[in-house]
Amino acid sequence: MNCKEIINNRNKYCSVKCQKEYEYKVYIEKWKIGNESGLRGDYQISMHIKRYLFYKYNNKCVKCGWGETNIHTGNIPLEVEHIDGNYENNREDNLILLCPNCHSLTSTYKGANLNKGRKKRSKYY
């Protein structure tokens, strides 16, 4: 269903990896047209969205271009920034990737805009 591999009659996909790739593509398509919120749970950004943003911005901070890999985790510690500060607004044009330093300098970092539309999150703090 996702790739050109030949599969047997019982399966839709040639592998679990192929299935996950297909699910990712479908999710992103739905998100781009507004049929997916982009949230996982009450306020966490979907891993599909994060993956998409890392690809879109080439694993680099939008402001300074930083994109170093953490030698202990093997990850690039970039963070998703909501430009308008509203964590529920996960439209593509409202999301960018920032390094921890650039993110900490934004006006909405770590609840700097607390009590401005973040009522759902208050139960976690």
C-alpha of 63 from chain center: 17
Count Cα atoms within 13 angstroms, Cβ side, for 55: 10
Q: Inform me whether the pLDDT recorded for 97 exceeds 80.
A: yes
Q: Inform me whether the pLDDT recorded for 98 exceeds 60.
A: yes
Q: Inform me whether the pLDDT recorded for 109 exceeds 70.
A: yes
For the stretch 20-66, pLDDT in tens is 898 899 999 999 999 999 998 887 899 999 999 999 999 999 999 99
Residue 87: exposure state from Cβ atoms within 10 A (0-12, 13-18, ≥19): buried
Burial per residue of 94-121, b for 16 or more beta-carbon CB atoms within 10 angstroms, e otherwise: ebbbbbeebbeebebbeeebeeeebeee
pTM of the full predicted structure? 0.79
The rounded distance, in Å, linking the Cα atoms of 82 and 95 is 5
pLDDT, position 42: 81
Q: Inform me whether the pLDDT recorded for 119 exceeds 70.
A: no
The rounded distance, in Å, linking the Cα atoms of 124 and 36 is 23
Helix (H) or strand (E) segment spanning residue 16: helix 16-32
- Confidence at 17, pLDDT banded by 50, 70, 90: confident
